[in-house]
Amino acid sequence: MIQDIDLKKLEKKAWKSTFQDGLYDIVFGVLLVSFGIIPIVRQIIGLWYIPILVLPAPLIFIFGKKFVTVPRIGIVKFGPKRRATHKMMVKIMVIVFIVTLILFLMTITKTFPGTLRTVFKGYAVPFSIGISAFIGLSFCARLMDFQRMYIYAILIGLGIPVAEVLYKTVGAPFYGLITFSIPGIFVLSYGIILFSRFMRKYPLPAKESELI
Amino acid sequence: MTVNKQNTKENQPAVNIDRLIHEPARFNILAHLYVVESADFLFLMRQTGLTRGNLSSHMSKLESAEYLEVVKEFVGKKPHTMLRLTDEGRMAFQDYRQSMKQVLENLP
């Protein structure tokens, strides 16, 4: 009976509906592919590879939400508890992204300070980066109740140390392509499928003035 | 003549059911608005699965009863109509759920 409705489940359903558009999957896919092609891009365009690595993912997310998702499913303001959770999740993702990116770039460019290099010998650095990325993203997955993000946490968290191992065996640029780009292509493809399904399921409605 | 206390209004929670909320579509609208702070028309339409006209019609009734309020805000440069429950609407929804629970519990 509808009167038996579970309000917590209803709120969660409303919350989850705001990220069923596939944009997070596309963003993680783009990030993974970008990580994988760094060695190739760096050789071609030098330091300009940094904006190429950093910019596409957040831009895709921001513009996707603004021009595709919100016009199709509308706007909602959740309660204070959910808003606080969302703010915390955004902060964590930004911090994890920045820290992981900095450490990742320092690792591949071998620019770690000497003292840190002696402290973190061998694979300790990439494993540390991987673990911090994994923990941060897993925490976000828990806060958002977004199951697929656990997979992306594993791909990024495990990918960094695996890339370091492969670098010593298969060398550049294959270590990046195998560790990140190939899984990234699968994630990106899945994101695009979700995105196109979302657009078919929720076509653009009539203009605001026609709705009421 | 003795009064049959069992038949007073207080002991018949079914009599106290808010018929405005009892309608499934309106209950659905109120339930969705209850769990968020506010939402626009489109979001409500998507979540409830109601058609544009249907939602508009039910919204008018709820607004007349002062259970929900319509607030026009600008989000960026675009006007947006946001809907939210009034305090009366929240209380009415809570009372309705409580009444329904009592009715169901009293069933043989």
Nearest to A212 among B27, B31, B81 (CB): B81
State how far residue A53 is from chain B, nearest Cα, in angstroms.
Answer: 29
Q: pTM to 2 decimals?
A: 0.79
Asked if this assembly's ipTM is beyond 0.95, the reply is: no
Q: Within an 8 Å CB–CB cutoff, is residue B57 touching chain A?
A: no
Query: What is chain A's Cα-based Rg?
Result: 20
pLDDT band at residue B12 under the 50/70/90 scheme: low
Residues recorded for chain A: 212
- Alpha-carbon dihedral sign for residues A160, A164, A167, A172: positive
Q: B101 and A1 in contact (C-beta within 8 Å)?
A: no
Q: Most confidently modeled of A164-168, A196-200, B96-100, B102-106?
A: A196-200
Is B35–A206 a contact, with Cβ atoms under 8 angstroms apart?
no
One digit per residue, the tens of pLDDT, for chain A of length 212 reads 555 678 989 998 998 898 889 999 999 999 899 888 888 888 888 877 877 777 888 899 999 999 999 999 999 999 888 888 888 888 887 887 787 777 767 766 777 665 555 555 666 677 777 888 888 889 889 888 889 999 999 998 888 888 888 888 888 788 888 889 999 999 999 999 999 999 999 999 876 544 44
Give A70→chain B minimum CA distance, Å.
9
Find out whether A191 and A24 touch, Cβ atoms under 8 Å: yes
Asked if the Cβ–Cβ distance from A74 to B24 is below 8 Å, we say no
Q: Where are the beta strands (DSSP E) in chain B?
A: 38-40, 68-75, 78-85
The Cα-based distances of A41 to A44, A56, B49, B51, B77 in angstroms read 5, 14, 47, 50, 39
Which residues on chain A are in Cβ contact (under 8 Å) with B47?
13-14, 17
Name chain B contacts of A206, Cβ cutoff 8 Å: 52
For residue B1, pLDDT over 50 is answered with no
B46–A202 C-beta distance less than 8 A = yes
Mean pLDDT score, B65-94: 88
CB contact under 8 A, A11 and B36: yes
- Mean of the pLDDT values across residues B50-78? 89
Residue in chain A lying closest to B59 (CA): A212
Check A10 against B52: CB less than 8 A apart: no
Which two three-digit tokens encode residue B28? 């659905």
Q: How high is the pLDDT of residue B25? A: 95
All residues at 6 or more sequence positions from A21 whose CB lies less than 8 Å from its CB, including other chains: A64, A65, A68, A69, A72, A73, A194, A195, A198
pLDDT at A209: 46
Q: Residue A73: what pLDDT?
A: 93
Rounded to a whole number of angstroms, the distance from the CA of A84 to the nearest CA of chain B is 13
* Whole-number pLDDT of residue A210: 44
Q: Which residues on adjacent β-strands are paired with residue B81?
A: B72
pLDDT confidence of residue A113: 62
How many CB pairs below 8 Å do chains A and B form together? 75
Chain A residues lying within 8 Å of B39, measured CB to CB: 74-77
Question: Which of A4, A75, A202 is best to mutate for the B interface (most B CBs within 10 A)?
Answer: A75
Q: Which pLDDT value is given to residue B9?
A: 47
Range with top average pLDDT, B15-19, B56-60, B73-77 = B56-60
Per-residue model confidence (pLDDT) at position A4? 65
B102 close to A (CB below 8 A): no
